[in-house]
Structure 1
Amino acid sequence: MWSITFQKYVNPITGLHQLKQRVLPILVMFALFGPLSGCQSTSVSVEPIDVESLFHDELFTTTEIISPEQIYSLPLSYVAQIKQVYSRDNATQHRKMPIHQWLAQYIGAQNGGFEYRDHYTRPASETAINRQGNCMSLVVLSAALADVFNIPVEFQDIDVEPVWDRRGGFYLVNGHVNLFLDATTDANTVSFRDSKILVDFLPERAVRGFGQKRVNKQTLTAMYYNNIAAEALVEQQYDLAYALIKQAIRMDPRFVASINTLAVIYRHKGDDKKAEQAYQAALSVDNQDMTTLFNLALILGEQDRLDEWAAVHKILELQRINNPFYYYDMAQQAYFEQHYQEAVVWYKRALEKADYRHEFYFGLSKTYWATGERGLAQKNMQKALALTGDIDDKRRYQNKLQAMKSW
């Protein structure tokens, strides 16, 4: 357990009670709607980073990983098929549709042509067949298809409101990316149309008010590697996670989330010295990155470096109230201590921050049941059931709801 010098310490980023469970949070580019970092101002360094000094291959078994080229490659049979579809569609149209407009319609991200799966990051070849994945999968597939038709693209990192998740002992803040398809240039054609078409699960008006940052393909590829490294880490595949995150950092040494993920891997290997070295490298790029500061604070607290810890913790404490899992974990503790009215208050506060989390409704349901408010218990269990996509959770909620109705 982490030896923080409080009897009960609540993680200011994730709201975890440290004396109950050991969790190392990572901030990853999973494809939902949350940003890679908060909206705080940052100080970004321009000094070069010696990334090779961060790697310690001797701690891991060499593992083969997907190459950058393989991420965006498509089966030749699929390429031939989509070209045939394009030729056929053009032959049946009265006026030839601009190719980037046709491709956007073919992908159909906003029209049911692509199934959203938040924890599903796959290369273009798999995504093309399954037609499902997260926003990173969608962007990778769209970029690969655009390359087939020589369509220019623009990648974007969208700074929307945080969406929190918890998987395999990790707290994750999901990120969001999309891309624009640009009109191809033709010296003999003058176009008065909008030259860009957005490819996204979300309509353009939904993201217009949020911060947008263009990223190049190399940074996007680093984000992809960080995604699948985090997925491997959740599955406790540490050798694979290390190989993937090493590639991510080499692709873009200034993508802080990847350096933080590397440090988390070292923490799981029990090497705090190497983890701290990585955290310090991340802070040399962005000295206000919340996840890096939090993880560094854990090490400082364990080593009784309390002055340093206090300086970092002061920054982190301001972020605590924005995290729904802080309220959720407070509710969980109140429930297990049978302080049910207090638990109700905390669960409701968690839902105010994140009304998309099925476990929040489940917690509120079981608390209402404990207080004898059976109608409210059933209502919230139904909401939990409607929100979950996990088969095991769905079965569990269905059984509990049936038991409530038959009581």
Structure 2
Amino acid sequence: MKLITRMLMPIGLGLLLGACASSDVSHQVSTSVAPYSDYALFTPVADIPDTTAIHTLDERQRTEFLSYFHDPQRADLSRHRRVADFITSFGEVFTFYDDTLTATNTFAQQRGNCLSLAILTTALAELVDVEVQFQQVESIPVYSLEGATALKQQHVRSFIYTPTTRAKVGSLILRPAGVTIDYFPSGDEVFVGNISRNQYLAMFYRNLAAEALVEQENDRSFALLQQSLLLAPEHPDGLNMMGVLHRRVGDTLRAEKIYLHAIAGNPDNVSLLKNYQLLLAAQAREQEAEQLGRQLLALEDPSPVNWLAAGNAAFDQGDYRQARALYKRASSLAPYMHDGYFGQARSSYMLGEIDQAERMLSRAREYATDDQRQRLYERKLSALTSH
């Protein structure tokens, strides 16, 4: 099963990373910097799910699963295979749904995003002593638009296995036999690394916080972000979202302090630097913004999706020259993706460089992955060449 998850970029606000998958699998909490705590006063929200509720199934759901699991006809199968087969038994009725759901809602509705599927998998596995590993995977990104928010979607999956006896010291330790639970894998995914349970749970709260921001529910978003930062106190995505939230409510002083704190521990994070640059530009601190822009372009982030999102943010702010430079970085890392070429085309057009816009739009059409997108680029190219 192929699952697509979300990173959010509020147009006019900056890059908001609220993905199912973290942008930094190996991120460690810094021991040299105290956990950040200087936040604005938001109204408390009572209905934030605790970590136990995330994986709770109702009695009917537990009975249905356990009856399937303990069926004598499946007794010769490993425990992890029976869990995987039960999830597969949902069949074609299990569909992609962009919101993040708890285990009981995913089970009942038989739909969800990749994190929802990981949550359901974990809930089932824990009932029958099956272990779960959470894996971050990179694949070609998907963009969609929800209101005033551009959604950049990423991917996470689960690997389940039956526990075995611990190996003796000095013996060869191999990866246990197990099953990967995924949404329609295309074969283009690249395994990035395993993530901890706390990181996985923090993702759940960040996803809900991102959804709350889309709905303008600032108090709820803050409460969810607080919960995520309890689990991953210095995670750059959580702090980044906190900065975006504070800027949204007009507390630019605290937003800047949050960005500076986060950047101190993550100086190479494209999203953090771009958001901070947007804040500086909005305050007409042009010299500082330009300096940060040069620092941003000097980064070596290997992920094209981060450069695409940063380019979109720069474009939305009217900084077309920087936007084009950021889109170029994306294209250099992923020349097979049409998004970077289209970004360069529209930036060049806004800069009055029509010939360059035509060349980039032609390349975007060449690499478009569906007929609808190809037709869109063809129409835009025809409009340009007719001038």
Give the TM-score normalised by the residue count of structure 2: 0.74
Give the superposition deviation at 1:66.
Answer: 1.8
1:91-149, CA deviations, whole angstroms, 9 ceiling, x for partnerless residues? 225x61011111112112996463223x2211111001111111111101100111111
Partner of 1:403: none
Q: Secondary structure at the match of 1:52?
A: coil
1:206-244, CA deviations, whole angstroms, 9 ceiling, x for partnerless residues? 43xx34222222211111111111111112221211111
Q: Does the 8 A contact of 1:101 with 1:197 survive in 2?
A: yes
Give the superposition deviation at 1:326.
Answer: 6.1
Decide which of 252, 258, 270 is 1:272's aligned counterpart: 252
Partner of 2:369: 355
Decide which of 162, 171, 175 is 1:183's aligned counterpart: 162
Partner of 1:69: 52
Partner of 1:52: 37
Decide which of 79, 82, 86 is 1:99's aligned counterpart: 79
Report the AA paired with residue 15 of structure 2.
P
Q: Does the 8 A contact of 1:42 with 1:286 survive in 2?
A: no
Cα distance change of structure 1 residues 336 and 161 upon mapping to structure 2, 3 Å threshold:
closer
Cα distance change of structure 1 residues 302 and 23 upon mapping to structure 2, 3 Å threshold:
closer
Cα distance change of structure 1 residues 316 and 337 upon mapping to structure 2, 3 Å threshold:
closer
Decide which of 75, 81, 103 is 2:64's aligned counterpart: 81
Q: Does the 8 A contact of 2:358 with 2:385 survive in 1?
A: no
Give the TM-score normalised by the residue count of structure 1: 0.70
What is the number of residues matched between the two proteins? 338
Partner of 2:380: 367
CA–CA distance in structure 1, aligned partners of residues 355 and 385 of structure 2: 12
Report the AA paired with residue 218 of structure 1.
N
> Does 1:303 pair with 2:280?
no
Equivalent positions of 1:252-263 (< 5 A) are: 252-263=232-243
Segments of structure 1 that go 5 or more residues without pairing to the other structure are 1-13, 374-407
Report the AA paired with residue 183 of structure 1.
T
Q: Secondary structure at the match of 2:180?
A: strand
Larger radius of gyration between Structure 1 and Structure 2: 1
CA–CA distance in structure 2, aligned partners of residues 97 and 114 of structure 1: 23
Q: Does the 8 A contact of 2:42 with 2:222 survive in 1?
A: no
Provide the alpha-carbon RMSD of the alignment: 3.8
Give the superposition deviation at 1:177.
Answer: 1.4
CA–CA distance in structure 2, aligned partners of residues 213 and 257 of structure 1: 17
Q: Secondary structure at the match of 1:64?
A: coil
Cα distance change of structure 1 residues 168 and 72 upon mapping to structure 2, 3 Å threshold:
same
Q: Secondary structure at the match of 1:232?
A: helix
Q: Does the 8 A contact of 1:38 with 1:290 survive in 2?
A: no
Report the AA paired with residue 37 of structure 1.
S
Q: Secondary structure at the match of 2:76?
A: coil
Partner of 1:289: 269
CA–CA distance in structure 2, aligned partners of residues 78 and 281 of structure 1: 44
Mean Cα displacement is larger for which, 349-358 or 154-163?
349-358
Mean Cα displacement is larger for which, 298-307 or 70-79?
298-307
CA–CA distance in structure 2, aligned partners of residues 343 and 68 of structure 1: 50
Q: Secondary structure at the match of 1:239?
A: helix
CA–CA distance in structure 1, aligned partners of residues 275 and 151 of structure 2: 13
Decide which of 174, 177, 198 is 1:195's aligned counterpart: 177
Cα distance change of structure 1 residues 28 and 355 upon mapping to structure 2, 3 Å threshold:
farther
Report the AA paired with residue 92 of structure 1.
Q
Decide which of 237, 249, 259 is 2:229's aligned counterpart: 249
Q: Does the 8 A contact of 1:51 with 1:250 survive in 2?
A: no
- Aligned-pair identity in percent equals 24
Cα distance change of structure 1 residues 339 and 305 upon mapping to structure 2, 3 Å threshold:
closer
